[in-house]
Chain A
Amino acid sequence: MSGATAGDGGVWPGVAWSLRRDLRLALRSKAELGVQLLFYAIVVTLFPLGVGADPTLLKALASGILWVAALLASLLSLPRLFAIDFADGTLEQITLSPYPLPALISGKIAAHWLTSGAPLAVLSPLLALEFGLQGPELGVLALGLLLGTPTLSLLGAVGAALTLGLRAGGGALLALLILPLYVPILIFGAGAVEAIRAGVGAGGELSVLGAALLASVVGAPFAAAVAVRIALD
């Protein structure tokens, strides 16, 4: 097992290179990005139709629904992270490049988040209006998603790399692997909105989300790099 390979290329040029490349590729298929946001909007909109339009009930459910839908949207977009590069052999070439693999993967994850998690967080206050959230609650929801969704992309990258090229139930298997690991993010993300709704500050929850983000920024790219190498063996 080879972990991080010390290559000739530096860490930051590696991050920048793969970030630029993946962003450019993502922006060339803008329709795909829109479809993901629409998925989020539709899932969120289904809940009032299911549970009824009682405003107090909807307000109580809002944070949970908006966060669970964000988890699902993140999960749905994960295969895009490696699967196409894996299928056409680009991923194998990337691992041979002089840049360290964890750096390249960090860039890919950053690009993935910028094109999935970040727009979703920006869109979320708008959707939260459907549930009657208001004022600071909207801000905390968006801030929580901005802090939480990169962690989802980072953890998800490990799962996406582990399931590369598997015939059996790619998407469902990925959900089984990754969703249990998303639980703490869901709890603290939805908890932040609940806290501000209850009138106590959301500082604690947002700090935990930030801490989880820092820890996964440090750890997840290395785990994902190991997983990519395993998949390519």
Chain B
Amino acid sequence: MSTRVINWFKFASPASFFPLAGRIAWWFAVPAALLAVAGLWLGLVVAPPDAQQGNAYRIIFIHVASAWMSMFLYLVMAGWCAMSLIFNARLSAMMAQAVAPTGALFTVIALWTGSFWGRPAWGTYWAWDARMTSELILLFLYLGYLALRQAIDEPRRADRASAVLALVGAINVPIIYFSVRWWNTLHQGATVSLTKAPKMAAVMLTGMLLMALAAWFYAIAVTMIRLRAIILERERHTAWVGAFAGAVR
């Protein structure tokens, strides 16, 4: 029986993950740019104007992708937080720290573009639609996480305290979502129903999916770049960072 021992934890050390993170960033940054160009070309040039909404609908090519990423990244962040608490691993905590600003950014973009689309489509910048409301609360959860991290000087305590907060938040996200939906049906009636939207033309759907992939790859690339910065900052007292800084200089 051949037992090849794989060292699963080789890349759990910031020092050995640092160069890999740099390579991963390139692997995903280039496809992200290509996908975004293709998606925007399909969405803004090829796709025809919508029968009802004219050109205003084109904002979905950015809006849908960022709304998906905003929710997905919170789960990714909570996942890394759980890893950091369970294995007491510094790199997992750094990953969570690196994901959070991108998640918050996508949440802001989703809210912003949504309200710009809402103006021509619904005649208002803001409606207390269930999804908009829960997206806004998601933004508060992201900002709370970032604020707690900022408020704690000692990095390891910041890691663990913010991890507890992110996990409590992750348990609450579905509860908040369903309670807001319930509240919305109670108070609003169905003013807006996107779920029963007419079927989308294939070219629009393709453009949207390309943009979603682009957003995903962008998030990975930018997280890796931010992770490298975090590693350098937090490991600045180590010999290898000193050597790296010397080499760059």
* A128 CB, min distance to chain B CBs, angstroms: 20
Partner of B186, one of A169, A194, A233: A194
Chain A interface residue number, banded: 20 to 34
Which A residues are CB-close (under 8 A) to B172?
180-181, 184
A173→B147 contact, CB < 8 A: yes
Q: Which residue of A lies closest to B164 (CB)?
A: A227
Tell me what chain B mostly uses at the interface: helix, strand, loop, or mixed: helix
- Across the interface, which residues of A come within 8 angstroms of B164, CB to CB? 158, 162, 223, 226-227, 230
How would you classify the secondary structure of chain A's contact residues: helix, strand, loop or mixed?
Answer: helix
Residue in B closest to A178 when the chains form the complex, CB atoms: B144
**What CA separation (Å) do A168 and B149 show in the bound complex?**
11
Provide the A1-12 mask, 1 if CB < 8 A to any CB of B, else 0.
100000000000
- Indicate if B103 sits at the interface (CB-CB under 8 A): no
Check if A173 sits within 8 Å of B180, measured CB to CB: no
**Residue in A180, A212, A226, A233 whose CB lies within 8 Å of B157:** A233
**B188 CB-CB contact with A under 8 Å:** no
User: Which residues of A are in contact with B by a Cβ distance under 8 Å?
Assistant: 1, 155, 158-159, 162-163, 166-169, 173, 176-177, 179-181, 183-184, 187-188, 191, 194, 212, 219, 223, 226-227, 230-231, 233
A-B pairs with beta carbons under 8 Å apart, 30 shown: A1-B88, A155-B168, A158-B164, A158-B165, A158-B168, A162-B164, A162-B165, A166-B151, A166-B152, A168-B150, A168-B151, A173-B148, A173-B151, A176-B147, A177-B144, A177-B165, A180-B137, A181-B169, A183-B179, A184-B179, A187-B179, A187-B182, A191-B183, A223-B164, A223-B168, A227-B161, A227-B164, A230-B160, A230-B161, A230-B164
